[in-house]
Structure 1
Amino acid sequence: MATEAHGEEGGLVFHPLDQFIVKPLFGEAGDAVHWYTITNVTLWMALAVIAIVALFVFGSRGRAIVPTRTQSIGEILYGFTYKMVEDVAGKDAVKFFPYIMTLFMFILFANYLGLLPMSFATTSHIAVTAVLALAVFLTVTIVGFVKNGAKFLGLFWVSSAPLALRPILAIIELISYFVRPVSHSIRLGGNIMAGHAVMKVFAGFAAVAAISPFAVVSITAIYGLEVLVAGVQAYVFTILTCVYLHDALHPSH
């Protein structure tokens, strides 16, 4: 977990945010990182994709009537996501199920792989979550205008409100709409980063003999909480995507 060092005066020093540093996979740690550089982020995102392929392609290729454990997990995740899309966004949103399923599985696997020792939590980086959120924002906006044309602007016009308040509410709705990708990305990245940082802080305290039992118990409890958070945050990101898609398909207030 944490690597600690003692300062010149003997105090305990540790850096909980060092675990989020992007480093080249090949070469020295201080080397420049370019857009084409293969980094620790690249590695763990690739491992997430490989794990998903292993589950759904190799784990379910038998298509047994009595499914294996691996096939059962794949079927449960498939059914869970399909039901979420259908219930939240509507039956006409099922055509977007492959995209939403891909989002959910990538975030879920990236979150859980980030909990392995010596791993890298890719979803703790806003650069990663912002791309995912921006892709959702652009997809939803394009779908909204393609399907509804100018009627999509009805999303910002609260027709049930008093006429005098409608322009003010329209401005508020417009601002909140463009803030969506920001909140969408920060919610996921911030929760994953915070959990990992707290674990590393308590891991640093484990080096102090007087409080090490408390620190170990705390790490265990926080790790258990992070296992729950990893799944919940993948679910929250996905269900918000479904809500935004529903708004695009049915924009009227």
Structure 2
Amino acid sequence: MADEAQSEGPGLVFHPMDQFQVVPLFGDGEVHWYTITNVTMWMAITVACIAALMVLGAKGRAVIPGRAQSLAELSYGFVYKMIEDVTGKDGLKYFPYVMVLFLFILFSNFLGLLPAAFTTTSHIAVTGMLALAVFIGVSVLGFVKNGPSFLGLFWVTSAPLAIRPVLAVIEVISYFVRPVSHSIRLAGNMTAGHAVIKVFAGFAQLVAISPLAVLGVTMMYGLEVLVAFIQAYVFTILTCVYLKDALHPHH
């Protein structure tokens, strides 16, 4: 009945979540694990942009850097300082992984703001794998570096002895929830912002409120630019915090 009512009379119809649909890049068949989709394409574009920035930025190595070199050096210094401040000197050997992780999320977020683009970090399948890779890597590193003493991370020695077992259970639960919160935070923020922009853009079709809708789109877009960077930063600094726990579980 609702569909018939929409088809019979004029109305404002828009679907904010359509922009997050995963579709095959070639053909209209079902999506399988091996299917090349719009997500695959935009992830490849993200990797190509990162490679271009790093190659062009390191190509000249001029005393007075150009734009590409400045961006590359700024990204390098930003992530390097983040790792050093959070994990100490011991964490700098894992700089390449953290750097790639930061740039991948950052470029994915910003590319998703382009018209007709796809935001790969809005899908839990993407952010979940990134978070799971961090979780498994950090856990394995913790046991390799510290052995069984890594379990001391869950034993709060500063608390009274009577409540330490309870705190240990809480710490274990919070530890295994890390990949869930790590991934949902990023995907949720990217999805919500893009959906709101689409809603405002839909209301721009109404002449009476189109100026307000355009203003809303502009303001939300500016906010999303800020959110795109902040979410990449938050994901990366949490990775550094987890890395610090693996390297120094008793601190």
Q: TM-score, normalised by structure 2?
A: 0.96
Q: For residue 190 of structure 2, what is the aligned residue in structure 1?
A: 192
Q: Is the 8 A contact 1:40 1:120 kept in 2?
A: yes
Q: For residue 25 of structure 1, what is the aligned residue in structure 2?
A: 25
Question: What is the CA deviation profile of residues 130-181 of structure 1, one whole-angstrom value per residue up to 9, with x for unaligned ones?
Answer: 0000000001000000000011000000011011100000000000000000
Q: For residue 84 of structure 1, what is the aligned residue in structure 2?
A: 82
Q: Of the candidates 124, 132, 135, which is equivalent to residue 133 of structure 2? A: 135
SS of corresponding position for 1:105:
helix
- Counterpart residue identity of residue 10, structure 2: G
Work out the number of aligned pairs and report it.
246
**What are the within-5 Å matches in structure 2 for residues 70-109 of structure 1?**
70-109=68-107
Which ranges in structure 1 are unaligned for 5 or more consecutive residues?
1-5
Q: Is the 8 A contact 1:89 1:243 kept in 2?
A: yes
Q: Is the 8 A contact 2:200 2:216 kept in 1?
A: yes
Which ranges in structure 2 are unaligned for 5 or more consecutive residues?
1-5
Q: For residue 225 of structure 1, what is the aligned residue in structure 2?
A: 223
RMSD: 0.9
Q: Distance in 2 between matches of 1:198 and 1:163?
A: 49
Question: What is the CA deviation profile of residues 79-108 of structure 1, one whole-angstrom value per residue up to 9, with x for unaligned ones?
Answer: 010000010111100000000000000000
Q: For residue 151 of structure 1, what is the aligned residue in structure 2?
A: 149
Q: For residue 240 of structure 1, what is the aligned residue in structure 2?
A: 238
1:60 deviates by: 2.5
Q: Distance in 2 between matches of 1:64 and 1:202?
A: 45
1:7 deviates by: 4.5
